[in-house]
Structure 1
Amino acid sequence: MARISRVLNLGRVLSCRSHGAVRTMASLQEDAHRIFWSAVSSVLPPRMLRRALAVRDTAGSSVLECGGKEITLDKNLYLVGFGKAVLGMAAAVEQIVGKHLVEGVISIPRGMEESLKQAGRRDMLLSPGSRVRVMEGAANNMADEAALRAAGEIRKLAEKLEERHLLLVLISGGGSALLPAPVPPLTLQDKQTITQQLALRGATIQELNTLRRALSQLKGGGLARAAYPAQVVSLILSDVIGDDLDVIASGPTVCSSHSAEDCLQIMSKYGLRDSMSEAVVEVLRSRPLMESPDHFSHVHNILIGSNFIALREAEQEAKKLGYFTLLLSTAISGDVRYVSHFYAVLAKVICSILMSSPQQQELEQEVLALASTMAVSGLNLADRLQELKLTGSVDSICVLFGGETTVQVQGKGKGGRNQEMALRVAAEWHQSQASMQGCQVMFLSGGTDGQDGPTEATGAFVYPQLMTNALERGLDAEHSLYLSDSNGFFSRFQNGKYLLVTGLTGTNVMDVQMLLVRRQL
């Protein structure tokens, strides 16, 4: 909490000075910190829920306003939730609806309540005497018996509702592991065995999720069916690229788009059809036929937080600080080794544009080829670079990306995808600092949840001369990367000055990457 306060105090200091008055790398890092925190702040539960929900009291009655709907409140409001950010979301709902909430049950990761207490996030805790019951489970994001019990309580609450009732459903990333409810006679172990077998044979995440939904009582629209005929309003925080509501927590309030035959074809594809138990075949055959969205007319799904919403807020903050902004993509994925190379080359391209470098065309061709290989949806990099070239007198640029990458762990060090991303960008820059002469450059990669792997950091900052400065202090970044020890490197380099530490935020909309480039005056 103290670290967050420093960030907020920093923002007040920055707003009181002219952006162009201080031209140091330290001020560039301060700007990056402030822009990142503005992104996170926009998707914190209290702010998200107050954008989405309001109660209007009139003479003798109260109305809940939500997503363009108005619903009369009369001792008819119930709540369920599941996911890593749901405790804070439930606390915000409780603050908004107050006495109108009759009963609630939420399923959250084991230890989350205590972690938020330790982080000083009292605004994300339920009030004493709350009508919402908190159940913890799914340690290490794996469905377990505790999560199974929580799912059972959520199902029981939904099934007792009547037409006059309203069920608020809070959903965030991690919700799938926190809502396991296999269709009888299947057990949790049966379901886990099937998905493990598919995973070992190379099934895609989309195929795995199709089977998970089909074998669950609550996923793939099952929770909405259980709550019928009550009205259902789902407030959803996305942690997936593309914000596909069918994927987030396996779509418990979304009409399923897959049939039993789709599932059987997947099992056949991976040679598992003949080894399927009779129980699995029976469950799949008993699935409802492909449903029409009309069958979900009692459901209203609302996306209240996403990576795009966070980056739009970051974009506005960067503009306030005097940057020309390029919000390029919220769909960055893949191995950090390839993505970091792309970011390193992109920084050189931007410098070449600012400095009218003779290398500009060659660098542009290189970065466009990399972008094509990455196949990022909607990137349109050529058009955005052309937009930058046409601006003329710009000398400070902020480039924003979002998404979620992967890391191939090869050593026994400590780190996470964001710290490794940053360190790899610095390593890429080490041999090409000359191509960025005349510019100051800062790269940041950070997770919006405040956690990056098993470390206290959520990411890191780097600049082109970082590896040179580290080598002067006897630190070898390449060796740290070999050991998968990015956190160890940053912790030792200038006493952790370039680690990004926010503490647990209570939200999660994947990661934010940022390039700040400015011409030296």
Structure 2
Amino acid sequence: MARVLTLCRTLHQWRPLWAKTAQAWVRSMSSLEERARAVFAAAVEGVQPGSVVRRGLQRRGDELVVGGRSFTLRNNLHLVGFGKAVLGMAAEAERIVGDHLVRGLISVPHGIQETLKHHGKMNMLLKSSSRIEVIEGAKHNLPDADAQRSAEGIRELASALTERDLLLVLISGGGSALLPAPVPPVTLQEKQDVTRCLAAAGATIQELNTVRRALSLLKGGGLARCAYPAQVVALILSDVIGDPLDFIASGPTVQSETCPQEVRAILDRYHLSASLPSSVKEVLNKSSSQWRGEIKDHYHDKDRVLNVVIGSNAIALECAGRKARELGLHPVVLSPGVCGEVGAVARLYGLLSRFGCSPEKEPPPALAAQILQLGPEVGVESWDLHRTMKLIREEWEEGWCTTCVLAGGEPTVQLTGGGRGGRNQELALRVGLELSREVEKSSALFLSGGTDGQDGPTEAAGAVSDGEMETEARRQGLDIDGFLSNNDSFTFFSRLSDGRRLLLPGLTGTNVMDVHVMLLPPQPPSE
């Protein structure tokens, strides 16, 4: 492959005479679908728990280097963690710090150890001699008694530390459900009932997190407060668009004071104040220092708390881009923050396909205008869209290399039916329709996959689609619109071509949201 790419680069300098020959040679090395799957696999591999911890946590003798800062190790390191990817992160961290680790406690999803064993991911499991205790909880991704027990243990461990100690905190997606510690006398059930009512009333995720933090001992910087005066270093694997530190697992190591008045305003806005449990009213009626517990001075000192994002969707896309180049593709990163309703996101990719595969030297201005108009709806800035369109057309003018548009994020699906599927499979299905229903069927190929290996309540991470999908479905008697209206994308892709279009990597042990890969092959020149 290296020799092929070297030759292709040489031919690139001599184009256009040998361009078509070079393109045919590279494409013969693998199909578009095989290369799209390889690019996705590289994105996931780049944010594996072990990989991100090795990059973010370096040992130099008795010094631990994190985020450009050094910390002295003297058998004084304690470790806590919570999240879906934390087991693998903890295993690698313990390998790095060795005997300097005094004790650890991590809160991980119910059944994850057995699942990792089943998938052969033994490197993500702790050794039998580990000094880290593992508690599984949050069954069905909901806070429960086991998760609360682990949260209490983490709080006790942090509260016992002294200024001589170093607390290493490992955080990944799902950490909020695995660290429930309601402020007494609020019970876990009462806290869940309040947030459930807020969600049902239409509260935003920001409002939900504000209320959660107000009723929690550990969220919103509470864990850092408990650990004072110890040094706190948090390594974070982000599953949130934009990587906001106070948002990931509700920011247990990030200063975030929320006054009771702000919380009451949210509850009033959704007409829930009158129906609150008496325990919640009692907590909100106390002063900030009372309902948070005794706040220790200077707990938020920047010299004592360091938060570092070591894994994110942007890092996954960077790794995907490197793999794309190795495979003879031209990578273009659109955005790591694609969001919004899945139908709008599918329209964006359909329009980008038309723009990139248009045989005209200058695509219609109206097409670019439509793409830019969709930007705010799908969370993509106009300059990112301008840049992406410019790079796509530059590659079109070169005319010899397949363009690989990369993006990530977390679109949403409006549930209207009772079928099986997830946002990645539904996005792939909708994009396939966009590509199939263009005036001239698009030659583009699209892949969407969840980096955690699970898309909704299915064993698939996502799926692959192209402009031939609708024709293929018709031949098999599959009604695409019916599957979409029932949110049954998994059943559709399971039946289409015997499920060969499904993306089935298995549990990956990580989670940085979704990765989208769209391949735009070069078009033959107009006659």
1:103 aligns with 2:109: no
* Amino acid in structure 1 at the alignment position of 2:364: Q
Task: From 426, 443, 447, give the equivalent of 2:446.
Answer: 443
In structure 2, the residue matched to 1:3 is none
* Amino acid in structure 2 at the alignment position of 1:211: V
Q: Partners in 1 of 2:139 and 2:441 — Cα distance?
A: 47
In structure 1, the residue matched to 2:71 is 71
1:494 aligns with 2:497: yes
Shift of the alpha carbon at 1:283? 2.1
In structure 1, the residue matched to 2:365 is 361
Task: From 294, 298, 313, give the equivalent of 1:307.
Answer: 313
In structure 2, the residue matched to 1:30 is 34
Q: Partners in 1 of 2:371 and 2:407 — Cα distance?
A: 15
Shift of the alpha carbon at 1:358? 6.8
Shift of the alpha carbon at 1:193? 1.9
Residues 244, 351 of structure 1: CA spacing in aligned structure 2 closer, same or farther, 3 A cutoff? same
**More deviation, 135-144/493-502:** 493-502
Q: Partners in 2 of 1:14 and 1:226 — Cα distance?
A: 57
SS at match of 1:266: helix
Residues 14, 470 of structure 1: CA spacing in aligned structure 2 closer, same or farther, 3 A cutoff? farther
1:317 aligns with 2:320: no
* Amino acid in structure 2 at the alignment position of 1:242: G
For the 8 Å contact 1:307–1:509, the answer to whether it is kept is: yes
Q: Partners in 2 of 1:27 and 1:515 — Cα distance?
A: 14
SS at match of 1:428: helix
**More deviation, 191-200/148-157:** 191-200
For the 8 Å contact 1:331–1:377, the answer to whether it is kept is: no
Per the normalisation by structure 1, the TM-score is 0.91
The residue correspondences of 1:196-345 to structure 2 (distance < 5 A) are 196-284=196-284, 285-288=286-289, 294-295=300-301, 297-345=303-351
**CA deviation vs aligned residue, 1:379-407 (integer Å, no higher than 9, x gap):** 53124313443453144211111100112
Per the normalisation by structure 2, the TM-score is 0.90
| % same residue | 50
In structure 2, the residue matched to 1:384 is 388
Task: From 500, 503, 514, give the equivalent of 2:506.
Answer: 503
Q: Which runs of 5+ in 2 are unaligned?
A: 9-21
Q: Which runs of 5+ in 1 are unaligned?
A: 1-10
**CA deviation vs aligned residue, 1:54-88 (integer Å, no higher than 9, x gap):** 2222xxxx121222121111111110000000001
For the 8 Å contact 1:42–1:310, the answer to whether it is kept is: yes
Shift of the alpha carbon at 1:253? 0.3
For the 8 Å contact 2:190–2:277, the answer to whether it is kept is: no
**More deviation, 161-170/318-327:** 318-327
Shift of the alpha carbon at 1:408? 2.2
Q: Partners in 2 of 1:252 and 1:345 — Cα distance?
A: 41
Q: Partners in 2 of 1:248 and 1:377 — Cα distance?
A: 22
**CA deviation vs aligned residue, 1:349-373 (integer Å, no higher than 9, x gap):** 1111xx2267533322222222244
**CA deviation vs aligned residue, 1:186-245 (integer Å, no higher than 9, x gap):** 111121122122222221110110010011000000000001001100000100111111
Q: Partners in 2 of 1:403 and 1:148 — Cα distance?
A: 30
For the 8 Å contact 1:137–1:147, the answer to whether it is kept is: yes
In structure 2, the residue matched to 1:45 is 49
Residues 358, 162 of structure 1: CA spacing in aligned structure 2 closer, same or farther, 3 A cutoff? closer
The residue correspondences of 1:464-479 to structure 2 (distance < 5 A) are 464-479=467-482
For the 8 Å contact 1:332–1:404, the answer to whether it is kept is: yes
Q: Partners in 2 of 1:344 and 1:28 — Cα distance?
A: 17
In structure 2, the residue matched to 1:142 is 142
1:86 aligns with 2:86: yes
**More deviation, 144-153/257-266:** 257-266
* Amino acid in structure 2 at the alignment position of 1:119: H
In structure 2, the residue matched to 1:410 is 416
The residue correspondences of 1:114-133 to structure 2 (distance < 5 A) are 114-133=114-133
For the 8 Å contact 1:214–1:287, the answer to whether it is kept is: no
Residues 128, 306 of structure 1: CA spacing in aligned structure 2 closer, same or farther, 3 A cutoff? same
Q: Partners in 2 of 1:340 and 1:25 — Cα distance?
A: 29
* Amino acid in structure 2 at the alignment position of 1:482: S
Q: Partners in 1 of 2:29 and 2:523 — Cα distance?
A: 11
